[in-house]
A = this chain, B = another copy of it.
C-alpha cells in the first residue's frame, strides 16, 4: 500500500463496498464492521472516514446521486436540445429500474427512503435531493410549455412533483413484482404522452 493514501478513492471504495453488502441484505441491516470487511480494511480505518453509520449512508447516497446525475447528463448530451419530449423522457427513464445498475440503485434507494422517513438528518438530505431533481424537471417542463409542446394549462412545478412521485411508486412496484421493467417504462411513457400530447395535436397512445 502506498504511503500517500488517496482519501477520495478510499471513500469511494468504502461506498462501493456498502452498496455490495446492502444489495444482498438490505441497507438497514448493514453494520460498519461488515462494510469494512467487504472493503478489505479494518473497522478503525473505516471509522477514520465515517464515524457512524449515518455518515456512511449519506455519503453512499450522495455517491449514487452523483452517478445518476452523470447518467442523466450523458443521456441529455445525446438528445437534441429542442426535442422536449426526448429530454423529459431521458430524465424520467433515469428514475426507473431499466437496467441492472439502476435496479440495484433503486432497491437501495427504497431502503434509504424508508430509513429517512424516521430520521431527521437523512430526511433533510432526501428533501434537498428531491428539490434539486424537481427543479431540473420543472425547468425542462417550463421550456416545453414555452415551446408549445406542453399545454400552458399545465403547472410545471406540479407536473414535476407528479413525475417524481410516479417514478418512485413505479420503482417500488417493480421491486414488489407488480410490474415488469417494460411495464414500468410503458406506464411512464403513457403519462408523458398525456403531458406532451394535449396541445401539440399529437395522438395519445
A residues adjacent to B (C-beta < 8 A): 26, 28, 107, 110-111, 113-114, 116-118, 123, 126-127, 130-131, 153, 155, 158, 161-162, 164-170, 172-173, 175-179, 183, 186-187, 190-191, 194, 198, 204
Which residues of chain B are near A116, meaning CB under 8 Å?
176
Q: Are A187 and B165 in contact, with the CB atoms below 8 A?
A: yes
Q: How far is the CA of A111 from the CA of B187 in the complex (A)?
A: 25
Which residues of chain B are near A26, meaning CB under 8 Å?
114, 118
Which residues of chain B are near A164, meaning CB under 8 Å?
169, 173, 178
Least CB distance from A123 to B in Å reads: 6
Least CB distance from A173 to B in Å reads: 6
Which residues of chain B are near A177, meaning CB under 8 Å?
123, 127
Q: Are A153 and B204 in contact, with the CB atoms below 8 A?
A: yes
Q: How far is the CA of A175 from the CA of B165 in the complex (A)?
A: 12
Q: Are A130 and B176 in contact, with the CB atoms below 8 A?
A: yes
**Which one of B118, B131, B194 contacts A194 once the chains associate, using CB atoms below 8 Å?**
B194
Smallest CB gap from A155: residue in B: B190
What 7 A-B pairs are tightest by C-beta distance, nearest first?
A: A165-B169, A169-B169, A168-B169, A117-B175, A165-B170, A114-B114, A166-B166
Question: Given A165-B169, A190-B158, are A176 and B126 neighbors across the interface (CB < 8 Å)?
Answer: yes
Q: Are A173 and B165 in contact, with the CB atoms below 8 A?
A: yes
Least CB distance from A86 to B in Å reads: 21
Q: How far is the CA of A155 from the CA of B179 in the complex (A)?
A: 16
- 8 A-B pairs with C-beta separation under 8 A: A110-B113, A155-B190, A162-B191, A164-B173, A165-B172, A168-B168, A168-B172, A169-B172
Q: How far is the CA of A170 from the CA of B162 in the complex (A)?
A: 8
Which residues of chain B are near A158, meaning CB under 8 Å?
186-187, 190
Smallest CB gap from A195: residue in B: B194
Question: Given A130-B178, A161-B179, A166-B166, are A113 and B172 neighbors across the interface (CB < 8 Å)?
Answer: yes
Smallest CB gap from A194: residue in B: B194
